A and B are shown apart, each in its own frame.
Chain A
């Protein structure tokens, strides 16, 4: 079992839709969670990070962590075609090592 699981998609939504991206993790020691966005043939770009359970909002993006069920989510409101990318959840294991999910490929259609 992978330590971080993520549905690879692809996920296709119409412009303006609310997108929900999800990950589950198995290691209770994970305390810190990040979401990265990766455009095709580019490096991952840090979108959001959160340390505790609950919600964290940044513009159209909301990160949610539920440690009791080991479930993390990223919501994108009013999705735009420019949001089309692969979204990766990650958690640090220590020693500079991030454990990544497989990534979810999102396509937002105009």
Chain B
């Protein structure tokens, strides 16, 4: 069974631009969570989507948003990029009512 896939793997943007990242979960997994990983803050939860609905949200500004499609694929968008948004963005999928999450390889975003 294929794992979680994320595209693109690397991205370079400039301040003020916006970016969209994509995540395809493991087949059969309907829940997708997004995380931001930085050396200083570690892994921090952004939000979770299930059945095209955002069910939970972390403590990030409204510039960070996401959505989920009917095939469970998910996208996250960051608008008005800031230097501090440079990070590894990870998505993870899980089966309904299971706690274990499986991570993708991440998208490494560099904001200049």
Contact = CB atoms under 8 A, between A and B. Distances in A.
B33 A97 contact: yes
Contacts, number: 57
Contact of A43 (B55, B56, B94, B103): B103
Given A92-B99, A96-B33, A96-B50, A42 B105 contact: yes
Interface stretch (A44-52, A57-65, A72-80): A44-52
Interface string A30-72: 0010101000011111100100000000000000000000000
Given A96-B55, A103-B42, A45 B103 contact: yes
B100 A49 contact: yes
Contact of B56 (A41, A90, A97, A102): A97
Nearest to B6: A43
Given A96-B31, A96-B33, A96-B56, A32 B99 contact: yes
A-B pairs with lowest CB-CB distance, top 9? A96-B48, A95-B56, A43-B103, A100-B43, A96-B33, A92-B99, A97-B45, A43-B105, A44-B103
Interface in A9-34: 32, 34
B110 to A, nearest CB: 13
B101 interface: yes
Contact of B90 (A32, A41, A44, A95): A44
B13 interface: no
Nearest to A45: B103
Contacts of B48: 95-97
A44 B42 CA distance: 12
Contacts of B108: 41
Interface string A72-110: 000000000000000010101011111111110000000
